[in-house]
Structure 1
Amino acid sequence: MKTVATSRRRGAALLLGLAAASLSLTACSVTSPQTTQLRYAPADGVEMDGEALMARDVLLVSHGKGAPAVVSGTLVNTGKEPLTVTVNVAGQSVGEVTVEAGSTARLDGTAADGTPGERLVVEALETAAGEHVEVRLQAGSETLGASAPVLLPQGAYADFADDAGGEVEPRTEEPAADH
């Protein structure tokens, strides 16, 4: 036989159980932050931030090990004056790029309308594809530096093949058979 007191106890126990489950499930977010709130570089290259100069998606395209390399990425001038940016890769000066105030410039020479221009090219990059190389950007008294990846001229970077050591040849050897 059910009494009112038994029904109330079951109801209270059910509410207490639901409250405990709710608290334990919400506690997961305490130790696992929302990854959409984390800052990250959503590209293959690296980011660098300074006061007036920022760089986005900086990388090199090359076969490496002595082959030429194209410097790729975008420079952003957040200041009120034009910036002349000197680009250094692995300790050697590669060239200069002027970025107008409140504007951007691409390191691979592509203009805003998509027309190709003068690319920054390292004559002989000793770092192999798949590794990282030190890139420094200097504009006036501001210097930014990062370790940028070296990628092969294939896929999205196939357009750089002529200036980056040639096309990537497909594999011709047969994989070793397992015995």
Structure 2
Amino acid sequence: MARTIRRSAIAATMLGAALVLAGCSVANPITTQMAYAPSDGIRVEVADGVVVENLMVLTESKGGEGHVVGAVVNRSKENALVTLILGEGGGGVPVRVPAGGTADLLADGVTVASVGVAPGAVLPSTVGAEGAGQVSVDVPVLDGTIPPYDEVLGQA
């Protein structure tokens, strides 16, 4: 009889502990389900279903040409027109992305004629989508010292 009571007490304690621990996930969001930039670039949500992923600029020096790395991902059912204004006073670079498609900025040859900051700094920029407004962002500027960026700048 004492053995049955002891087992019941242990089972009740374990059930209580399980309920308490399960309650933690109710009050705290699951971090791994949150969108984030897992690489060196930044992530910018510009419209419903339209996101710029891993946006960064690679250059050898301040004032040098910059190669834009990243992708515009369109998960919506409509074609999207995203405009990148990289640097203050820079001209806008239009990027068209079909519904459900992706545009690779590096493969498409998107460049900045003269990067206004040195590698290691951030480039004040604006990213916008047609009909959705604009977002001001600080785009990281890197050099070719980190693989595979050395291949992009021809320093490999």
Structure 1 position 73 matched with structure 2 position 63: no
Separation (CA, whole Å) in 2 of partners of 1:32 and 1:81: 36
SS of aligned partner of 1:92: coil
Task: Go from structure 1 to structure 2 and tell me whether the alpha carbon gap of 1:97 and 1:159 turns closer, same or farther (over 3 Å shift).
Answer: farther
Runs of 4+ aligned structure 1 residues displaced above 6 Å come to: none
* Structure-2 residue corresponding to 1:115: none
Contact 1:97 1:105 in 2 (8 A): no
Separation (CA, whole Å) in 2 of partners of 1:39 and 1:106: 19
* Structure-2 residue corresponding to 1:122: 113
Give CA-to-partner distance per residue, 1:58-90, whole Å, 9 cap, x none.
10112343333212222345464563x543222
Q: 2:18 aligns with which of 18, 22, 29?
A: 22
SS of aligned partner of 2:32: helix
Identity %: 25
Separation (CA, whole Å) in 1 of partners of 2:83 and 2:17: 58
Separation (CA, whole Å) in 2 of partners of 1:42 and 1:79: 26
Give me the TM-score of the superposition, normalised by structure 1.
0.64
RMSD, matched Cα: 3.1
Considering only CA atoms, is the larger Rg found in Structure 1 or Structure 2?
Answer: 1
Separation (CA, whole Å) in 2 of partners of 1:81 and 1:9: 66
Cα distance, 1:15 vs structure 2 = 2.7
Task: Go from structure 1 to structure 2 and tell me whether the alpha carbon gap of 1:13 and 1:40 turns closer, same or farther (over 3 Å shift).
Answer: same
Q: 2:43 aligns with which of 44, 47, 51?
A: 47
Task: Go from structure 1 to structure 2 and tell me whether the alpha carbon gap of 1:96 and 1:39 turns closer, same or farther (over 3 Å shift).
Answer: closer
Contact 1:61 1:70 in 2 (8 A): yes
Q: 1:157 aligns with which of 128, 135, 149?
A: 149
Task: Go from structure 1 to structure 2 and tell me whether the alpha carbon gap of 1:92 and 1:72 turns closer, same or farther (over 3 Å shift).
Answer: farther
Separation (CA, whole Å) in 2 of partners of 1:11 and 1:138: 63
Consecutive unaligned residues of structure 2, counting only runs of 5 or more, are none
